[in-house]
């Protein structure tokens, strides 16, 4: 889209661009006020939470965002029907079943920085991969290590070299979330914890993992919401890319 290009080159100010975008007819969908302004303001296109939306609504929002000039669009928590509808009707859409995500990557920023993402168990996979896709679309390299449980510390071995070269580390873990403390005690980079709702009983829908991460004995750990891979990917990419200068 020409307009965003102009903004990026500096020939059009963001506010001016936003004003122009506001007159686009596609923007004013009945069921959702699409915020194309955010990409201009914060360097990250608005994503679409598919929960509670019909496949038709999801397709319409994606189309509107792309028409509005979005460099990329990510639909999260998208079940099979939404993923299929978007892939069928939006050219260039890619999907990941495990991450429950579908997306269009039209013009990504050049990758900068490196995020290392580690998860404790198999069930943390969907959240980790949502974070990974989000971070990649925001323009950063992602290295993934899954199933690095604390109950078998020897599993941490292969992760250590990557931790050393990370600009940001994301730890995805449920239940006791001990992995966040262990990694947080090793890594020199900022660590973002993502508690997951894995487990039952005392796992308490992820609250135990959340609280354990928040009072981790390792300083330098900050936390996003339960199962919020999207949020983790967003802040991790911002950290890894650093300030645009």
**x-or-dash string of contact with a second copy, 115-154, rule CB under 8 A:** -----xxxx-x--------------------xx-xxxxxx
Q: Nearest distance from residue 174's CB to a second copy, in Å?
A: 8
Indicate the residue among 43 and 87 with the shorter CB distance to a second copy.
43
**Whole-number Å distance between alpha carbons of 114 and 37:** 27
Q: Nearest distance from residue 117's CB to a second copy, in Å?
A: 14
Binding window for a second copy (CB under 8 A); candidates: 80-88, 89-97, 102-110, 164-172: 164-172
**x-or-dash string of contact with a second copy, 19-38, rule CB under 8 A:** ------------xxx-x-xx
Contacts of 55 by beta carbon, 8 Å cutoff, 6+ apart = 81, 82, 84, 85, 86
Q: Nearest distance from residue 199's CB to a second copy, in Å?
A: 5
Binding window for a second copy (CB under 8 A); candidates: 3-11, 86-94, 104-112, 204-212: 204-212
Contacts of 91 by beta carbon, 8 Å cutoff, 6+ apart = none
**Whole-number Å distance between alpha carbons of 198 and 174:** 5
> Is 41 a binder of a second copy (CB under 8 A)?
yes
Query: 206 has which bridge partners?
Result: none
Cα distances from 122 to residues 11, 147, 148, 177, in angstroms, run 48, 6, 9, 14
**Whole-number Å distance between alpha carbons of 72 and 69:** 9
Indicate the residue among 84 and 149 with the shorter CB distance to a second copy.
149
């Amino acid at each position: 889209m020409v307009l965003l290009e102009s903004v990026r080159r500096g020939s059009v100010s963001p506010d001016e661009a936003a004003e122009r975008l506001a007159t686009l007819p596609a923007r004013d969908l009945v069921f959702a006020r699409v915020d194309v302004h955010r990409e201009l303001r914060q360097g990250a296109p608005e994503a679409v939470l598919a929960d509670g939306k019909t496949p038709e609504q999801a397709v319409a929002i994606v189309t509107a965002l792309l028409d509005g000039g979005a460099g990329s669009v990510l639909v999260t928590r998208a079940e099979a029907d939404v993923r299929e509808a978007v892939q069928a009707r939006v050219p260039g859409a890619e999907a990941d079943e495990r991450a429950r995500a579908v997306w269009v990557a039209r013009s990504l920023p050049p990758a900068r920085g490196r995020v290392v993402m580690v998860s404790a168990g198999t069930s943390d996979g969907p959240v980790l991969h949502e974070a990974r896709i989000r971070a990649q679309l925001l323009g950063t390299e992602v290295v993934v290590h899954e199933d690095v449980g604390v109950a078998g510390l020897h599993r941490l071995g292969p992760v250590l070299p990557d931790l050393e070269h990370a600009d940001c580390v994301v730890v995805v873990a449920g239940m006791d979330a001990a992995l966040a403390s262990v990694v947080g005690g090793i890594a020199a980079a900022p660590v973002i914890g993502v508690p997951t709702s894995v487990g039952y009983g005392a796992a308490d829908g992820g609250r135990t993992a959340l609280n354990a991460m928040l009072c981790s004995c390792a300083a330098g750990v900050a936390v996003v919401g339960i199962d919020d891979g999207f949020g983790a990917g967003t802040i991790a990419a911002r950290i890894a890319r650093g300030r645009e200068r």
